[in-house]
């Protein structure tokens, strides 16, 4: 097969898996006889599920319109949480032997409580991680919660989880993140021309696939990409920011890129935020996973965490300097509290640095792409001809 065709083929197969995680999970279960555990964004240490011999799958938003879920969660919740509940109410979470989470976004907690009500026979476990990173009591609390997770997963899977197994899982996930980060580096350096849709497929599939299997495909893909000639772009370079927990619709990326734009970097969850940080070395694997929780927020700050010493906006400013991105599109899922609360801080920083930006609110029910396109074009115009207008948002 030609290299370009093989690249397409690998990414296409990963995209198909990412689109239908339950098919993949069912197949994996029949191949291995292991348990499949649904885990929820954004801070869950998947390594511990993997070490239990189970398949951790980050439950994705489903494209289906919300139906029965309406009777369990109000319509003024973010699309992700409404979709989760709807999936529970329509039998789409049946492929999971348990649902586990550690995050405390208020909307997510409400959604999971509704799931627990709707699926009384499915184990649903919350090991709530304290979100304030600054107090001395937090670190031992997180370690304790990881210990509880370990115990609960041992019960679910019927086997003790050894330290060695966790270390092996950490190594496997670190390798996988490293492979994905390499693709990101190549995109930033203009070495490859993968589209936003394709980049998303790489990360989303990592969220749902067996890690070794995913890494094998990524390693092959990387060797192919590295053999390709550089792909510098004369288009306007943008950074995509935000969009917690679930993936923006690929059509949105297609539309943005159709406006003479190349996306050089992002900090979205189904993007760089997910792969930014490896689990640090530590003899005690629980300590290592605890360290990861803190290290991630230092690397790519998230407004769902409360930390005095880091700022998302400073991170963004630095990221733009590194990549040469000329502007930012901020993607906020409608009703996402932690993002709405933080957005003005981002905006202030963009103004201070003279960075053009555009705010786009996304919705589960679909996007007015034509209207949004006009706004993206306006942003591109501002970047190309800075004297025109300064504030398209």
Told to check if 102 binds other proteins by CB under 8 A, we report no
- If contact means CB under 5 to 8 A according to the sort of partner, which of other proteins, ligand SF4, none does residue 317 touch? none
What is the token pair recorded at 188?
């930033």
Nearest-angstrom CA–CA distance, 368 and 363: 10
Nearest-angstrom CA–CA distance, 260 and 225: 23
Q: Using the 8-state DSSP alphabet, how is residue 339 labeled?
A: H
Smallest gap from Cβ 314 to ligand SF4, in A, equals: 21
- If contact means CB under 5 to 8 A according to the sort of partner, which of ligand SF4, other proteins, none does residue 314 touch? none
Smallest gap from Cβ 1 to other proteins, in A, equals: 48
- If contact means CB under 5 to 8 A according to the sort of partner, which of ligand SF4, other proteins, none does residue 300 touch? none
Is residue 34 within 8 A of residue 54, CB to CB? The reply is yes
Told to check if 236 binds other proteins by CB under 8 A, we report no
Nearest-angstrom CA–CA distance, 64 and 68: 11
Smallest gap from Cβ 112 to ligand SF4, in A, equals: 10
Told to check if 308 binds other proteins by CB under 8 A, we report yes
Of 6, 67, 74, 258, the one binding other proteins by CB under 8 A: 74
Smallest gap from Cβ 41 to other proteins, in A, equals: 13
Inter-axis angle of helices 21-32 and 196-208, nearest 10: 40
Told to check if 390 binds other proteins by CB under 8 A, we report no
Of 9, 19, 29, 113, the one binding other proteins by CB under 8 A: 113
Is residue 362 within 8 A of residue 388, CB to CB? The reply is no
Q: Which residues contact 321 (CB under 8 A, 6 or more apart)?
A: none
Neighbours of 220 (CB within 10 A): 13
Residue for token digits 């192919």? 224
- If contact means CB under 5 to 8 A according to the sort of partner, which of other proteins, ligand SF4, none does residue 149 touch? none
End-to-end CA distance of the chain: 46
Smallest gap from Cβ 387 to ligand SF4, in A, equals: 36
Smallest gap from Cβ 307 to ligand SF4, in A, equals: 16
Q: Which ranges in 60-100 belong to alpha helices (H)?
A: 79-89
Smallest gap from Cβ 120 to other proteins, in A, equals: 11
Q: Which residues contact 344 (CB under 8 A, 6 or more apart)?
A: none
Kindly tell me which of 33 and 344 has the beta carbon lying closer to other proteins: 344
**Interface with other proteins in residues 317-376 (CB under 8 A):** 332, 334-335, 337-338, 340-345, 347-348, 361
Q: Minimal CA–CA distance to 42: which of 273, 362, 306?
A: 273
Distances (CA, A) of 139 to 213, 279, 333: 33, 15, 30
Which residues contribute to the site for ligand SF4 (CB under 6 A)? Answer: 78, 80-81, 105, 107-108, 244-245, 304, 333, 336-339
Residue numbers of the site for other proteins (CB under 8 A)? 71-74, 76-77, 104-107, 109-110, 113-114, 116-117, 125-128, 130-132, 134-138, 141, 148, 152, 303-304, 306-308, 311, 332, 334-335, 337-338, 340-345, 347-348, 361
């Amino acid at each position: 097969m030609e290299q370009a065709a093989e690249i397409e083929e690998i990414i296409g197969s990963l995209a198909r898996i990412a689109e239908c995680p339950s098919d993949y999970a069912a197949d994996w279960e029949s191949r291995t006889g292991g348990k499949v555990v649904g885990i929820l964004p954004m801070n869950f240490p998947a390594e511990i599920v993997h070490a239990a011999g189970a398949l951790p799958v980050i439950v994705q938003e489903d494209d289906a319109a919300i139906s029965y879920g309406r009777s369990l969660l109000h319509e003024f919740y973010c699309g992700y949480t409404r979709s989760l509940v709807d999936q529970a109410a329509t039998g789409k979470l049946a492929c999971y032997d348990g649902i586990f989470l550690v995050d405390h976004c208020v909307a997510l907690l409400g959604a999971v409580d509704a799931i627990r009500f709707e699926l009384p026979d499915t184990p649903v476990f919350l090991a709530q991680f304290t979100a304030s990173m600054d107090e001395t009591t937090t670190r031992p609390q997180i370690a304790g919660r990881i210990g509880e997770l370990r115990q609960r997963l041992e019960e679910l899977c019927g086997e003790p989880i050894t330290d060695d197994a966790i270390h092996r899982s950490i190594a496997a996930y670190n390798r996988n993140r490293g492979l994905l980060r390499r693709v990101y580096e190549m995109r930033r350096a203009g070495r490859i021309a993968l589209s936003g849709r394709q980049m998303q497929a790489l990360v989303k599939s990592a969220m749902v696939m067996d890690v070794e299997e995913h890494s094998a495909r990524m390693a092959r893909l990387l060797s192919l990409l590295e053999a390709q000639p550089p792909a510098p772009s004369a288009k306007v370079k943008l950074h995509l920011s935000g969009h917690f927990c679930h993936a923006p619709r690929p059509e949105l990326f297609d539309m943005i890129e159709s406006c003479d734009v190349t996306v050089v970097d992002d900090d979205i969850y189904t993007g760089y935020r997910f792969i930014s940080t490896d689990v640090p070395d530590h003899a005690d694997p629980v300590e290592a996973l605890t360290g990861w929780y803190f290290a991630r927020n230092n690397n790519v700050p998230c407004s769902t965490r409360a930390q005095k010493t880091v700022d998302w906006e400073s991170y963004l400013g630095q990221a733009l300097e590194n990549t040469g991105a000329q502007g930012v599109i901020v993607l906020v899922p409608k009703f996402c509290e932690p993002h709405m609360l933080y957005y003005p801080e981002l905006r202030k920083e963009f103004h201070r640095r003279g960075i053009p930006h555009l705010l786009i609110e996304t919705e589960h029910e679909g996007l007015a792409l034509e209207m949004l396109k006009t706004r993206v074009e306006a942003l591109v115009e501002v970047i190309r001809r800075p004297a025109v207008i300064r504030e398209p948002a």
